[in-house]
Amino acid sequence: MRPLTLGRLFLRCGILAIILFFVVVIALKLGAVQVSLYGLGRDLIRVLLHQSSGISTDYGMIVVDIRLPRILLAIVVGASLSVAGTSFQALLRNPLADPYVLGISSGAAVGSILALMIESQFSLSPEFSGLITPFGAFIGAAVTIAAVYFLGRREGQIDSSTLLLGGIITASFLSAVIMFLMSTLAAGNLRGASYWMMGSLSSLPPTSLLYFLGIGFLVAAGAIYTTASDLNLLLAGEKEAMHLGVDVPRVRMVVYLAASILTGLAVSVSGAIGYVGLLVPHAMRMIFGSDHRMLLPASALGGAIALVIADTLARTVVAPSELPVGAVTALVGAPFFIYLLRRRLS
């Protein structure tokens, strides 16, 4: 018998965290411009000791101003998408669920397009406009979350299959709206929108936004984690879960809202990066089993690792050009998905 204990949880998460650390170091080293490990280590220590003025600008700007924020963004976005994916798979009782199945990414895209339109009308300064697109995207995501919630209810409570249907319909409708907007409006700045929709981590968000994302992730993922035991039981069946002591309506509501917020935050900043939210939960399940007390933190760390790796590939494989990171996750993710499918069928 091998129940999960706190000690075992920390040990496994510790191993994943160490792997993440090494991946981050490698990611900091690789890039279009060569950086030595020694210089890297020295400068990172200087940063932590708050002596950043001592860093030579060669490494300083590239590593600390360009690569490090990008890697931190990849960590937060990867963790958010994976935790959201795990949660939706449990909530909808569907192993094919990913964070975008309920239309949140389409809503965010519509929000960002509208924000771009407004911004081009009013010609805002670039500093402000850096925040308006994520803000618009998040508003779009929030509206979609509310709309799908109301569509997905039955007898006043969230119902899994109704929620899934409502989300799919909303996603299709919003995709049509996006096509309409992009074909009828002046194409000028909307070019940015299509790059956004492919998913990209290169936008160098301001520090305040990174903080906001990080805190948002901790709060939302923490809320989901408090229901981890309940989710284990929910997967056995809703009626059974109720009879085993789970407050099913409350758990569904908490998980739906928190997972949607995680997705909305991630998508607002980086666009719709695919496959991470779908496949990292499955990979972690194959390694650690489907106990959500282990699976949720493992997905968070695994998602961070996966996205940092994907982003590093995206910016080094065809340097100095860049692939959109969504393309890398798709190219790697699709074969892995096929492999998973075959395993299930065998």
Partner 1 sequence: MSSPLRTPQSSSANLSPDQPRGNPDVRLSVEQASYVYAPNPSQAPLFTLEALSFQAKAGEIVAILGPNASGKSTLLKLISGALEPLSGHVFLNGFATHALAPKIRAQRIALVQQESRLLFPSHVSEFVLQGRHAHGRGLRFESEDDITIAKNALAQVGALHLIDRWMDKISGGEKQRVILARALAQQPILLLLDEPTLHLDIGAQVDLLDSLRRLAAENRYTVLVVTHELNLTGEYADQVVLLQKGKCLRVGSPASVFQRDLLEHVFQAPLSVEMTSSGRPRVTLFSNK
Partner 2 sequence: MPGLTSHFVARVLVVCASLLLFCSAGMAAQTNTSGSPVPSPIHEVTDGYGRTVRVPVHPSRIVSLAPSLTETLYALGVEDRLVGDTDYCDYPPDAQKKPKVGGVVNPNLEQIAALHPDLILLSKEGNLLETVRALDSLGIPTYATDARTIDQIISSTQKLADVLNVPEAGKTLAADLQQRLEALQVKLGGVPPRRVLFIVWPEPLMSVGKGTYIADAIRRAGAVSIVDSNQDWPQVSLEEVARLQPEFLVFATSHGGSGEHDFEALANRAGWQILDAVRNHRFAVVSDAIVRPAPRIVSVIEDLAHQLHPDVFPEKLGGEKDTAPANAPVPSPLPAKPMASRFLASPCPLESPCAR
Residues in touch with partner 1 (CB under 8 A): 1-6, 9, 93, 95, 225-230, 232-233, 235-237, 239-240, 242-248, 285, 289-291, 293
| Contact of 13 with 298, CB cutoff 8 Å | yes
Query: Cβ closer to partner 1: 54 or 249?
Result: 249
The residue within the footprint of partner 2, chosen from 1, 2, 38, 123 (CB under 8 A), is: 123
Among 1-9, 158-166, 250-258, 331-339, which window interacts with partner 2 (CB under 8 A)? 1-9
Identity of the amino acid at 232? N
263 interface partner picked from partner 2, partner 1, none, CB below 5 to 8 A per type = none
CB of 11 to partner 1, least distance (A): 13
39's tokens: 């210089």
In angstroms, the CA 60 to CA 169 distance is 48
Contacts 24+ apart (CB under 8 A), 89-94: 89/281, 90/231, 90/234, 90/235, 90/255, 90/292, 91/160, 91/163, 91/231, 91/234, 91/252, 91/255, 91/256, 91/259, 92/160, 92/163, 92/164, 93/160, 93/234, 93/235, 94/160, 94/164
When asked if residue 126 is in the footprint of partner 2 (CB under 8 A), the reply is yes
Query: Cβ closer to partner 2: 33 or 151?
Result: 33
Peptide bond into 3 cis (omega under 30): no
When asked if residue 223 is in the footprint of partner 2 (CB under 8 A), the reply is no
Strand, coil or helix: 158: strand
When asked if residue 114 is in the footprint of partner 2 (CB under 8 A), the reply is no
In angstroms, the CA 151 to CA 227 distance is 24
Query: Cβ closer to partner 1: 26 or 286?
Result: 286
Any idea which residue has 């590593």 for tokens?
63
When asked if residue 36 is in the footprint of partner 2 (CB under 8 A), the reply is no
Query: Cβ closer to partner 1: 48 or 345?
Result: 345
Report the site for partner 2 in 199-218 (rule: CB under 8 A).
Answer: 202-204, 206-207, 210-211, 214-215, 218
- DSSP secondary structure string, 266-318? HHHHH----SHHHHHHHHHHHHH-S-HHHHHHHHHHHHHHHHHHHHHHHHHTT
237 interface partner picked from partner 1, partner 2, none, CB below 5 to 8 A per type = partner 1
Any idea which residue has 């650690």 for tokens?
288
Q: Which DSSP state fits 52?
A: G
Q: Which DSSP state fits 321?
A: S
CB of 249 to partner 1, least distance (A): 10
Site string for partner 2, 183-202 (x = CB under 8 A): xxxxxxx-xx-xx------x
Query: Cβ closer to partner 1: 156 or 245?
Result: 245
Report the site for partner 2 in 52-81 (rule: CB under 8 A).
Answer: 52-53, 55, 57-58, 60-62, 64-69, 72
Among 95-103, 124-132, 156-164, 246-254, which window interacts with partner 2 (CB under 8 A)? 124-132
Q: Which of 91, 13, 102 is nearest to 300 (CA)?
A: 13
Site string for partner 2, 241-280 (x = CB under 8 A): ----------------------------------------
Q: Pairing relation of β-strands 153-154 and 157-158? A: antiparallel
- Phi, psi of 208, deg, nearest 5: -60, -40
Query: Cβ closer to partner 1: 91 or 142?
Result: 91
Binding-site ranges for partner 2 (CB under 8 A): 5-6, 9-10, 31-33, 44, 47-48, 50, 52-53, 55, 57-58, 60-62, 64-69, 72, 119, 123, 125-127, 129-130, 133, 183-189, 191-192, 194-195, 202-204, 206-207, 210-211, 214-215, 218, 222, 315, 319-322
